[in-house]
Amino acid sequence: MRNKSIEATIQDAASPETRLARALGPLQLTLMGIGVTIGAGIFVLTGTAAANYAGPSIALSYTIGAVATALVALCYMEFASTVPVAGSAYTFAYVSLGELVAWLIGWDLILDMTMGASAVASGWSQYVTDFLATFGIHIPASVSGPDAAVNIPAVLVILVLTAILASGVRTTSRINTVMTMVKLAAIVIFLVIGVTHVDAANWSPFIPASQPVGGDGDMWEQPLLGWAGLGADATFGMAGILTGGAIVFGAYSGFDIMASNAEEAKRPQRTLPIALLSTVAVCAVLYVAVALTVTGMQHYSELDNAAPITGALKAAGADWAVRIVGIGAICGLTTVVMIMLLGQSRVFLAMSRDRLLPEWFSHVHPVTRSPRRITWTLGLMVAFMTAVLPIGDLAELGNIGMLTSFIVVCVGVVYLRRSRPDLPRGFRTPWVPAVPAVAVLLCLLLVGNLPLITWARFLGWMAAGLLIYLCWGRRHSKVATGELAAGGTPGTAEDHDMAGGRGASSRGASSAP
């Protein structure tokens, strides 16, 4: 199996031309995690998933997602504290399961974050349109919102955020902190107002009766498990709760992106576990609370739009609060797009460092320490996707990519425990292999409840990635060219400190003996 050692991975991250700055402490990283996690799930997908899949029981979908997320996060914490460099699941797969799996997961993560950022940007556009409408400024539906021919506001915000990311992680962190605080304040205001307008009749039935998928008999809209005869071919009911869980699971993707920024964390062995656990706990509570409130304010069948929160406030007659919550929603969705763009650039950076993608992309600006070439390339690609694809397709494609990467990370933890039991670990996942196994089963259950059309698109994307690997990466990677022996090279005690928790400084490191 062609793989790369942890020591060699850390050594590569210390290269002066590609090294990132360690500038994020526990608070900054936690706020970054909350900033990217609290956004689309609350402000966009809560309504569409409730209306189309689960009804008021969307709160149960979020709960299932939280349990699966917590288990997967425990696996991520072990990897991120052991290999504190950019790349997230891609890097973890390379040091455990080999180059081919790493490439496919890296390609998969690009899909996940690209589609996720595009989906949130589409929702952002709708919130901006609704917010401006409260001042009498009306943007034509043909150029704004999820049904626009070309979603111009969404494209513009992606380009602006790309420019901010290119200026460096410190600037990004400061902007994220301010916007996240505004977002959390808006959510609290919504909950305070919302609970006074809840009508318990809207929760009845809490779990709507099961209905066949696609009354027109479209097999492509069936969940994979239902199509295969392994699950219910239905929406609502228990099948709807599981499908809703698969759809909204992307709302918990923040910890994955935090792991992508491990190389920019101060003292990553301590910072990352604290930030990951804090993010999952805070976000799970807020998601369930908002899901219960919004479905209590308005019947779930009326929530199928890209701005369900402000829509529920309007329906309740709380027009005065629409602007306040609208500002928070706009800030919230802005941080999600920004951090997703940040995360995908770090995955791309790791892949180009290994020369599985052209090494030209791995150049880091000497002043800002940001990978500008990657940032602008991916920013333009996301802008294009946002302009041409609908929000539902974007969200589902992002989720299937993320769930796949989670499965690989959980398997990788078990494999690395067996292959390198004495490796210094800043955090150890408890109850291995039980925790990774349960996490894998939950992820498989959720991914199996995504529509067949989503699977077809995903497999097409992965087939294209495999072709690129066979034509380029397989022959040009550092391992393939002999610049790095399979399994890696030994290094210095300084890198052992970085891997084991004693030397995570901004100067980088070499590698462990």
Q: Is the CB of residue 14 less than 8 Å from the CB of residue 510? A: yes
- Can you give the pLDDT at residue 18? 73
Question: Which is more confidently placed, 233 or 93?
Answer: 93
Share of the chain above pLDDT 90, in %: 19
Which residues face 265 on adjacent strands? Answer: 24
- Can you give the pLDDT at residue 397? 67
d(Cα 69, Cα 33) in Å, to the nearest integer?
Answer: 13
**Both ends of the chain: CA-CA distance in Å?**
22
Q: What is the pLDDT of residues 437-470, one digit of tens each?
A: 999 998 888 788 778 888 888 899 899 999 999 9
**Tokens 């609208």 appear where?**
326
Q: What is the pLDDT of residues 28-74, one digit of tens each?
A: 888 888 887 887 667 777 888 888 888 999 999 999 888 888 888 89
Task: Give the tokens for residue 410.
Answer: 């959980």
Q: What is the pLDDT of residues 144-171, one digit of tens each?
A: 766 777 888 889 999 999 999 999 888 8
Residue type present at position 82: T
Statement: residue 502 has pLDDT above 50? no
3-class SS of residue 421: coil
Question: Which is more confidently placed, 157 or 233?
Answer: 157
Indicate the helix (H) or strand (E) that contains 211: strand 211-212
Q: Is the CB of residue 416 less than 8 Å from the CB of residue 436? A: no
pLDDT confidence band for 234 (50 / 70 / 90)? low
Torsion of CA 253, 257, 260, 264, to 10 degrees: -150
- Can you give the pLDDT at residue 22? 81
What average pLDDT does this structure show over 122-138? 82
Right CATH number for 6-495 from 1.10.1200.10, 1.20.1740.10, 1.10.10.10, 1.25.40.10?
1.20.1740.10
d(Cα 383, Cα 148) in Å, to the nearest integer?
Answer: 14
- Can you give the pLDDT at residue 488? 45
Strand segments, DSSP code E, in 415-496 are none
DSSP symbols for 226-265: HHTTSS--EESHHHHHHHHHHHHGGGGTHHHHHHHTGGGB
d(Cα 125, Cα 403) in Å, to the nearest integer?
Answer: 26
Q: Is the CB of residue 62 less than 8 Å from the CB of residue 295? A: no
Task: Give the tokens for residue 140.
Answer: 């034509």
pLDDT confidence band for 315 (50 / 70 / 90)? confident
- Can you give the pLDDT at residue 165? 92
Statement: residue 304 has pLDDT above 50? yes
In the chain, what are the domain boundaries?
6-495
Where helices occur in 87-151 by DSSP H, the ranges are 89-96, 99-133
Q: What is the pLDDT of residues 406-444, one digit of tens each?
A: 898 999 999 989 988 888 888 899 999 999 999 999 888
| Closest to 508 in 3D by CA, of 27, 4, 84, 165 | 84
Task: Give the tokens for residue 3.
Answer: 């793989």
Q: Is the CB of residue 327 less than 8 Å from the CB of residue 178? A: no
Q: Is the CB of residue 268 less than 8 Å from the CB of residue 262? A: yes
